[in-house]
Chains A and B, each alone.
Chain A
Amino acid sequence: MHPAYSVIFLTTLIGAGQGLFLALFTVQSYALVGLLPAVEHRLFYAVGSAVALVLLVAGLVASFFHLGRPERAWRTATQWRSSWLSREVIALPIFMGLVALYGLAHGLGVRRELVRFDGGVAVDASFALGVAGTVAAFALFVCTAMIYASVRFLAEWASPLTLVNYVLLGGASGFTLATALAGVAEPRLVGFLSGWALVLTVLAAIARGASLWRNARLKPQSTLQSAIGIQHPVIAQKSQGFMGGSFNTREFFHRASASRLRAVRQGFVLLAFVLPVGLLLGGRGGPSTLWLTAAFAIQFLGLLAERWFFFAQARHPQNLYYQAVS
């Protein structure tokens, strides 16, 4: 498939936004039950939510560049009964709204208790919004991943590993960003957040490695024999019916050389997994802002490359019909 930069930016930006929100809510939950000290910086959650919201909005804006007719985009929510893209278009604004409300609840200092449990644990509006936001974040992960995994013709994408990778990669980038923010505002949290960022990055590396391993062993289910229905072992296309390009030759192929593909694969493994692990480990002790910010920046670049490779690696069966110009 041809990697569209608008969709690459969409999925990586909203993944980081979702992961950042989940990191903030994880800190709040741990602090609520006393596993972490309460956050000192008054605006930590509010600014964190604002950063997450900026990422989500940037992702949404980027996605509009993929559409031929963006002015009709409001129609995309109507087919939620059958289309995962439609469901994502509903889940994304809901999640963005919840993140905004969560940030507002923290920023305005809304502390009114909703429920008080035995043992002194009090749940306020921001916690309730956080729970709702977590559910929405995972719903959005599922919708985004299923857009790709539900296309059964693209065997590289049609696997549960696609969803696992979206969750882990979004989580890893979000937690790394949260660590960087903590490095600036709330240094006591750097140890906790960087620990989870490391765990998620390593898990994401394992899961992405598993999907690379699986994709390398895939055998295409369609052949030229089934494509034109002639049962002869030797079939070759002599002409695809036209000499110039067409939508079918542009949209379904990455147009890069095999060596470029290999370089991108090695690059994203290095930038998204290896270097961030090193930078996070280095940033855990000592003056860390530079290391942690570099960890996020490099990991984000690596994730852009990973998403480009995710698109480029998918082989569409329609390519069987477009092989020779003659």
Chain B
Amino acid sequence: MSRVQLALVIDLNVCVGCQACVTSCKEWNTAGAAGPMSDQNPYGADPSGTYFNRVQTFEVGEYPHTETVHFPKSCLHCEDPPCVPVCPTGASYKRESDGIVLVDVDKCIGCKYCAWACPYGAREFDEHQKVMKKCTLCVDRIYDRSMAEADRKPACVKACPTSARIFGDIHDPHSEASRAIREQGGYALMPEWGTRPANHYLPRRKTRLRIHADELVRADNPLRVEGHLPRPAPGTPTLDDATTW
């Protein structure tokens, strides 16, 4: 497994559902080489539009024992992508050099077969350009040498205020992404389909503190109170009489 596989690791433990990754992705890619991510009726009654990344919200458990989980979802850049072999024109392809799954919008005929073949719903049909579009892992940012090193990461990773998104090579065991998956139990979505998504998610963690009863009330507390010791009698020599500071 020496081939580089770039991917995102999304930490569900810290995602707060602020949608910064959604808006930064939309802003960056709508001005990108692949053409705008068009909106239909954006200020009207029933807006619709092309987005590569969406943040969803799930509620786990039943009241009162509930948890709110914010769930960003974008193309998972699967290692065995089901959307690639079904494309009749070859517009859908996985790059050999870094494992990013891309759409060649000059070849795509917009038949939507790749979207049928994606179990995650990661691909969208752009109503204006009439082709399929999906997350590009900001391939136009990460290789752009005219940008500063710190900017050469996907727009969503840079925008996240809680550092919930990690970008890196998951085939390199020393990368931050690989370490996060290994050390924090990163998992893939819908593993039953065998698509082997490259994007992983870090699970929610609960921090639990066990407090013993004798940590609240000291066992060796003869007065059984947390309070001051009794005042010494007036005239008893104190430290102030014996020494100076």
Show the binding face of A for B, using Cβ within 8 Å.
1, 66-70, 72-73, 75-79, 82-86, 89, 147, 150-154, 221-222, 224, 226-230, 232, 234-248, 251-252, 316-319, 321-322, 326
Contact = CB atoms under 8 A, between A and B. Distances in A.
Q: Max chain A CB contacts within 10 Å: which of B68, B121, B124?
A: B121
Contacts of B201: 228-229
B86 interface: yes
A251 B115 contact: yes
Contacts of B51: 242, 246
B48 A318 contact: no
B103 to A, nearest CB: 12
Shortest 8 CB-CB contacts between residues of A and residues of B: A68-B110, A318-B121, A68-B130, A241-B54, A75-B89, A82-B85, A76-B88, A244-B47
Interface of B: 19, 22, 41, 46-51, 54-62, 68-69, 71, 73, 82, 84-91, 107-113, 115-121, 124-125, 127, 129-132, 187-193, 201, 203-204
B165 to A, nearest CB: 16
A66 B142 CA distance: 35
B90 A248 contact: no
B43 to A, nearest CB: 11
Given A70-B109, A75-B89, A221-B192, A246 B124 contact: yes
A253 to B, nearest CB: 11
A246 B118 contact: no
B88 A75 contact: yes
17 contacts: A68-B110, A69-B110, A70-B109, A75-B91, A75-B109, A79-B90, A83-B85, A151-B86, A229-B188, A229-B201, A241-B73, A245-B46, A248-B124, A251-B125, A317-B193, A321-B120, A322-B121
B110 A222 contact: no
Contact of B86 (A84, A89, A238, A322): A84
Contacts of A243: 47
A68 B119 contact: no
Given A72-B89, A232-B61, A318-B120, A247 B113 contact: no
A231 to B, nearest CB: 9
A267 B132 CA distance: 35
Given A75-B90, A76-B89, A318-B119, A153 B124 contact: no
B86 A85 contact: yes
Nearest to A226: B190
Given A153-B117, A230-B204, A239-B57, A79 B110 contact: no
A243 B46 CA distance: 8
A78 B93 CA distance: 14
Contacts of A317: 119-120, 190, 193
A149 to B, nearest CB: 12
B71 A228 contact: yes
Contact of A240 (B19, B56, B61, B192): B56
Contact of B190 (A147, A222, A244): A222
A68 B89 CA distance: 13
A154 B115 CA distance: 12
Q: Max chain A CB contacts within 10 Å: which of B51, B69, B85, B88?
A: B88
Contact of A321 (B46, B56, B61, B124): B56
A241 B136 CA distance: 20
B107 A240 contact: no
Contacts of A79: 85, 87-90
A273 B68 CA distance: 51
A312 B39 CA distance: 27
A104 B57 CA distance: 63
B60 A232 contact: yes
Contacts of B110: 67-69
A230 B203 contact: yes
Contact of A226 (B73, B85, B121, B191): B191
B125 A240 contact: no
Nearest to A2: B112
A85 to B, nearest CB: 4
A221 B119 CA distance: 11
Nearest to B188: A229
